[in-house]
Structure 1
Amino acid sequence: MLTSLTIKNYALIDKLQVTFKEGFTTITGETGAGKSILLGGLSLVLGKRADLGSIKNSEEKCVIEACFAIQHYNLESFFEEVDLDFEKLTIIRREILPSGKSRAFINDTPVTLDILSSLGERLIDIHSQHQTLQLTDNEFQFQVVDAVAGNNIVLDDYAEKLSEYHSSKKELMKLIDFQQEADKEYDYNSFLLEELRSAKLQEGMLEELEASYEKLNNVEEIGENIGHALQILGEEQMGTIAGLNELKSIFNKLSKFGTVYKELLERIQSVLIELDDVNVEIQGIEEILEANPQQLEEVSNKLQLIYNLQKKHNVLEIGELLEVQRELEEKVSKTENLEEEIKQKQLEVLAQEEKLDKIAGQIHKNRAKAIPGLKSHLETVLSQLGMPNAEFKFVLDKTDKYFANGKDALHFLFSANKGSSFNELKKVASGGELSRIMLAIKSLLSQYMHLPTIMFDEIDTGVSGEISNKMGDIMQQMSKTMQVFSITHLPQIAAKGDMQFKVFKKDKDGVTASQMKELSTDERVDEIAQMLGGKDLSASAMAHAKELLRL
């Protein structure tokens, strides 16, 4: 429940600090005194978007702070989920800086507006005059039925499964779209792939082919030079080997005359061995060297094929061609396997639809079971509020569509008078009737939603007399299980409060500011008497006020 509220530098408020108790609290004051400002400040601390124009003094920051006693509302899991320390007395603070920047804190820990708003929804329900129009909104009507039906857990399960279903449907459509595009490219990709496969590409083969081509294409020149080399090495009179053998014989004779000649002999022997080996290898080349026009043509054609493939695919290396081949294999393979993949995804979607249908069926069953009790409660309360002939008709139809909250269509129909046809609320209910219907709904929802606090902003609009007295009784009854606030212009409701606050304006140093104070018993008598008969407090008004306050 809300235990205190502090507002600084907001709209017409310089500084306001009030404390609240459990039970039923009424807030009164003249039109324009600042009751809406109070609600605006409270809305900000609960996560509403900030407006720089709401700062009273643009050179100072605006601070709004609310303290809530939350030990009895099972909020520990929420605090754990958003990684905040749970405190039995939780302080929410909102700051709006002169720059326009806004900051939010929960127990002095900075938080996002989303977290602040999420916590606020769990702490207090502010019912404004605008919210009464929600009665005509189909989503709100579903919320009412589902709260009474106890559908919260099953709706969460449905929402989770629906998200998975939409994701699978999206993946299926992507596969189908991909298949349509892939089918167009399949033949061309298959042709390109076969072209690359037939080339039997391997890393390093281009260099080998180019070397073979050079050899085969220049076989005559190579043969001539090989023959010349062998002549230089092996010619009996002038050949290099013959010369080295002669040198070897000379230094063999000289080796006995000193180590220097012996060392030269060893070096000559080493060179001779190497040249003999070179000679043998060159001879081997000569033996296998022959013109082969057919092989030359084959190598030339292979090279040309590779060059053409490189040009077609705009690459320079065999490795890049192999990468293109791998990519084409993947595309072709994926296209060939798409049919099976689509079939599997379709089966998955069908299985998810079956699960959704089962859950949606339970949601419908719960709603259908809850509607008679909801109808009876609303009609009973409205009878107490001066609408004895009011009737509701809830039309709940199954559909084939998957909505965010099930597969039902709901029509919330109303008739205020006997003999009148049923129609949508927005077409047949007046403002005063909508206010009474909303109060009846809120009184019922308070039993199911277990909110700590609810605040009604002039929910008594359009009613008076005994009806307002009954509305006060209902709010008073609600306050036995939750904290209830009512901003009201009606003395009958104001007098029902366990405590009463007055919002008023006060001029100081030429500046008007809104203030708020808790009224004592005597002050309540005066305030309610003024609400009954104006500023001139007549004896009858005073007596009536005391009667309303049961003094």
Structure 2
Amino acid sequence: MLRELSIRNLAVIEEVTVGFHDGFHVLTGETGAGKSILIDALILLIGGRGSSDMVRYGCDKAEMEATFDLPAGHPVWRAIERLGLQGSSEDLLIIRRELSAQGKSSCRINGSIANLTMLREVGECLVNVHGQHEHQSLLKSEHHLEWLDLFAGEKVAGLKREYQAAFSRYGEVRQALKNAQDTSRHNMQMLDLYKFQLQEIRSAGLKKDEWDQLQEEKEKLSHSEKLMTHASAAYGLLFDGGSLEGISSAIAKLEDIKAYDSAVLEPLLEQLKGAFYQAEDAAHQLRGYRDSVQSDPERLDVIEDRLTVIGGLRRKYGDTVADILAYYKKIKHEADLIENRDEHIRQLEASLQSAHAEASALGESLSQQRLAAAELLSASVELQLKDLGMSRTVFRASLQRQPQGDGYRLGLNGIDEADFLLAPNPGEPLKPLSKIASGGEMSRIMLALKSIFAEIDQVPVLIFDEVDTGVSGRAAQAIAEKMSQLSGKCQVFSITHLPQVACMADYHYEISKDVVRDRTVTSVKELSDRERIEELARMLGGVEVTDKTRHHAQEMLVLADRQKGA
């Protein structure tokens, strides 16, 4: 649930912090007082677009923060884990957003920096906002299939994932077939180029580690004279220079006197003997190395020619010999496809037929599940509409298919297209919502659908921004009662001008606008029982509040409490 909302320097709001409760909340106030700014703040906090125009005039930035209290199993925690954000040990989720006067935005989720995409993904799990403009989504049939699939649940969702994987494979094969059927001059030109490149690489007879081995051998041959000279000099210094002879003489001298001071001389003697054996071994190895060094100008010329050939291939086809060989394998495959085009096309046509059959079968299974869900959704909506004063209205979630060949046209979401149809009055035919529903009917249909989906999508906060506009009398009362019932499943907020809606709320907030130090300031106040009577009386009577309107307001609250307790 939304527990607290803080706003600073957003439009006409200078600073507001307001706490909320479980249940049904209404926000009322004069037109222009700033009721919708609270909703705008929440929309910004769940990833809505912001602009510098929203920052209060003369301020550097606007700041918004919302605190949500959510159970451990709520889907939002999975989203936060998936995004790599910080969770909470107290089941609290704190979202903060700042909007600068230059239009820059910064967001934090439980203290972790987040971008707008992350904020929207988290926000989708937290808040649904519905207003008069939101009804437009109900008029667009492309959204109806999404609503139906959400209602159908995991069984349809699993089938839909299987179908979309099959549809993706079908699309890949279809594209491959289209490419293979391309008989343009470009393909023939590419084949000639591939043949030339294949011959050039093949004739080089490349070996995977050849370049490094040749470079090493070249380095050795290029410096063979220096290697031999210095190795001979080092050998001479050890043997002919007397180094070994000197160490041997020192050993003999110590052997003669070690008996007189063995504690000191014995360890020194052992060190000299070790040094002598190591130097002698090194000298023998130097002699062997010196004898192995050869000068081979012809071999050096061969290596340099080979490196030139490989270097040319590296400039054309890859940074390493391995890259060149990988490119060779790739263009060989491409050349084979072009040369064996007819056989390749036959194989792709067979694969396409198989992929189409698989996707069609899954699409048919998905469609059957949707048909069953459509009947249940239609019956559920009609039941909700009955509570909303539309008892004789017929609602149908209708599915259509587009024939194609021996089957139906495949789309990303299956073979179905959905449309919500309505017959408001007995004897009238079913027609699309866009052609028949009035504003008041749209409000009630939206409310009916949200009553059904509240438990399915698990969004804890529902906000209705003046969805009761254009509704009055019994219809308004029915909407109020439905919102009150809906608040038993989630937290409900309604911005309203109707006293029939306001009296049914569990909590009533007044938004007012005043001028302080020549600046307009909006404030939010949770009303007491007495203050609720005054506000309802204002809504009933307009500018002049009389004892009669106060009495009427009090009576409405009593009747509302009785209705909620029924």
Give the Cα separation in 2 of the matches to 1:111 and 1:381: 39
For residue 319 of structure 1, report the CA deviation from its aligned partner. Answer: 8.8
Aligned to 2:550: 542
SS in 1 for 2:66: strand
Evaluate the alpha carbon distance shift between residue 175 and residue 543 of structure 1 in structure 2; reply closer, same or farther with a 3 A threshold: same
Equivalent residues of 2:97, 2:105 under 8 A apart:
yes
Check if 1:82 corresponds to 2:90: no
Question: Which residue of 470, 483, 496 corresponds with 2:491?
Answer: 483
Give the Cα separation in 2 of the matches to 1:483 and 1:319: 71
Equivalent residues of 2:138, 2:144 under 8 A apart:
yes
Aligned residues: 435
Question: Which residue of 380, 391, 395 corresponds with 1:392?
Answer: 395
For residue 142 of structure 1, report the CA deviation from its aligned partner. Answer: 1.6
For residue 110 of structure 1, report the CA deviation from its aligned partner. Answer: 0.8
Equivalent residues of 2:388, 2:482 under 8 A apart:
no
Residue identity matched to 1:84:
L
SS in 2 for 1:131: helix
Question: Which residue of 418, 428, 447 corresponds with 1:439?
Answer: 447
Per mean C-alpha deviation after superposition, the further-off stretch among 60-69 and 439-448 is 439-448
Check if 1:100 corresponds to 2:108: no
Give the Cα separation in 2 of the matches to 1:361 and 1:435: 34
Residue identity matched to 2:188:
K
Equivalent residues of 1:29, 1:503 under 8 A apart:
yes
Residue identity matched to 2:129:
I
Check if 1:370 corresponds to 2:394: no
Question: Which residue of 171, 177, 185 corresponds with 1:166?
Answer: 171
Equivalent residues of 1:193, 1:329 under 8 A apart:
no
Residue identity matched to 2:525:
K
Evaluate the alpha carbon distance shift between residue 515 and residue 368 of structure 1 in structure 2; reply closer, same or farther with a 3 A threshold: same
SS in 2 for 1:427: helix
Give the Cα separation in 1 of the matches to 2:490 and 2:11: 30
Give the Cα separation in 2 of the matches to 1:453 and 1:486: 11
SS in 2 for 1:75: helix
SS in 2 for 1:105: strand
Question: Which residue of 526, 529, 538 corresponds with 1:521?
Answer: 529
Equivalent residues of 2:377, 2:397 under 8 A apart:
no
Give the Cα separation in 2 of the matches to 1:190 and 1:545: 87
Evaluate the alpha carbon distance shift between residue 344 and residue 542 of structure 1 in structure 2; reply closer, same or farther with a 3 A threshold: same
Aligned to 2:181: 176
Aligned to 1:112: 115
Equivalent residues of 2:98, 2:107 under 8 A apart:
yes
Which runs of 5 or more structure 2 residues have no equivalent in the other structure? Answer: 206-307, 318-323, 403-407, 562-566
Identity of aligned residues (%): 33
Which has the larger Rg? Answer: 1
Check if 1:42 corresponds to 2:48: no
For residue 92 of structure 1, report the CA deviation from its aligned partner. Answer: 0.7
Give the Cα separation in 1 of the matches to 2:364 and 2:184: 36
Give the Cα separation in 2 of the matches to 1:97 and 1:467: 43
Residue identity matched to 1:372:
E
Give the Cα separation in 2 of the matches to 1:387 and 1:189: 73
Give the Cα separation in 1 of the matches to 2:557 and 2:203: 100
The one-character-per-residue Cα deviations of 1:490-528 (angstroms, maximum 9, x if unpaired) are 111111111111111011011112211111111111111
Equivalent residues of 1:145, 1:371 under 8 A apart:
yes
Per mean C-alpha deviation after superposition, the further-off stretch among 367-376 and 14-23 is 367-376
Question: Which residue of 454, 466, 469 corresponds with 2:462?
Answer: 454
Per mean C-alpha deviation after superposition, the further-off stretch among 154-163 and 504-513 is 154-163
SS in 2 for 1:26: strand
Aligned to 1:155: 160
Give the Cα separation in 2 of the matches to 1:74 and 1:187: 54
For residue 389 of structure 1, report the CA deviation from its aligned partner. Answer: 2.7
SS in 2 for 1:549: helix
> What TM-score results when the alignment is normalised by the length of structure 1?
0.72
Give the Cα separation in 2 of the matches to 1:156 and 1:166: 15
The one-character-per-residue Cα deviations of 1:311-341 (angstroms, maximum 9, x if unpaired) are xxxxx97996999999786764442344454
Equivalent residues of 1:73, 1:452 under 8 A apart:
no
Alpha carbon RMSD of aligned pairs, Å?
3.1
Aligned to 2:501: 493
User: 1:74-473 to 2 correspondence within 5 Å?
Assistant: 74-87=75-88, 88-150=91-153, 151-177=156-182, 180-181=184-185, 184-185=188-189, 332-399=335-402, 400-473=408-481
Per mean C-alpha deviation after superposition, the further-off stretch among 350-359 and 183-192 is 183-192
SS in 1 for 2:488: coil
Evaluate the alpha carbon distance shift between residue 365 and residue 191 of structure 1 in structure 2; reply closer, same or farther with a 3 A threshold: closer
Per mean C-alpha deviation after superposition, the further-off stretch among 429-438 and 145-154 is 145-154
The one-character-per-residue Cα deviations of 1:396-424 (angstroms, maximum 9, x if unpaired) are 12332222322102232222122323222
Residue identity matched to 1:14:
E
Give the Cα separation in 1 of the matches to 2:195 and 2:369: 60
